[in-house]
Amino acid sequence: MNTSPLSLTTTHGRFSGTLDECAAWLAEHQPSSSRVDCGEISEEIEVSGTPGAAGWRKGIFAAIVGRLQAAAGLDELCSLLGEEVYEVLDGVYAGAPTWGERTPEIERQIGASGASGDIVSWDTTQTPHRYLVRRSANGQETFRVVEAQS
C-alpha cells in the first residue's frame, strides 16, 4: 500500500505523507496557500485562521471530498477514485455523489456487496442503470462503472 498518498505544494515548499503527517506539517508551517494532490485530484485547501493539525486535516479531507462531489457523472467520479483516495478517505464514500433515486435494485446490490464489489455510487437517470463499483483484490482497490443486468 502507498505510504505517502498525499503531496502538498505550499508557499513554504513541498511535502508528501499520510493525511495525519500532512496535517501536522501544515499546522507547523501555516502556509498562506496550499494545494493537495491525491491521485487524480489536485485542489486548493481552504482553512481559516491559524488551524492546528485537526483543522488542516479537515481542510484536506474537504478538498478531496469536494472534488469528488463536483464530478459530472459516474465516469468522471470513477476516474478520480483510486488507491490513494481510498486510503485518505479510509474507505468511506458517504460524500460520493449519486444521480437519480436509490431504487430497490440499488438496495439489493448494496445488501449483496462482497466478492463482486461494493457500490460506491449510481446513476438511475439512464437506462440501463449504471453503478460505480469498488473491488478489493490482493490489497489493491479498483473502481469501475458497470451496467445493471436486465
Q: Which residue has the cell 470513477?
A: 78
Number of domains the chain contains: 2
Residues 109 and 63 in one domain: no
Identify the domain containing residue 10 by its residue range.
Answer: 6-69
Give all strands of the β-sheet with 13-17 in edge-to-edge order. Answer: 13-17, 6-10, 34-38, 41-44
Residues 96 and 65 in one domain: no
Taking the model in full, what pTM does it have? 0.86
Residues 64 and 99 in one domain: no
How many Cβ atoms from other residues are within 10 Å of residue 137's Cβ? Answer: 9
- Give the residues across from 117 on adjacent strands: 114
Query: Considering the chain, what percentage of its residues have pLDDT values greater than 70?
Result: 95
Does residue 76 lie in a domain region? no
Does residue 81 lie in a domain region? no
150 burial (CB, 10 Å; 0-12 / 13-18 / 19+) is exposed
Encode pLDDT of 21-76 as tens digits: 999 999 999 999 999 999 999 999 999 888 999 999 999 999 999 999 999 999 99
Q: CA 35 to CA 9: how far, in whole Å? A: 5
Encode 47-71: b = buried (16+ Cβ within 10 Å), e = exposed. beeebebebbbebbbbbbbebbeeb
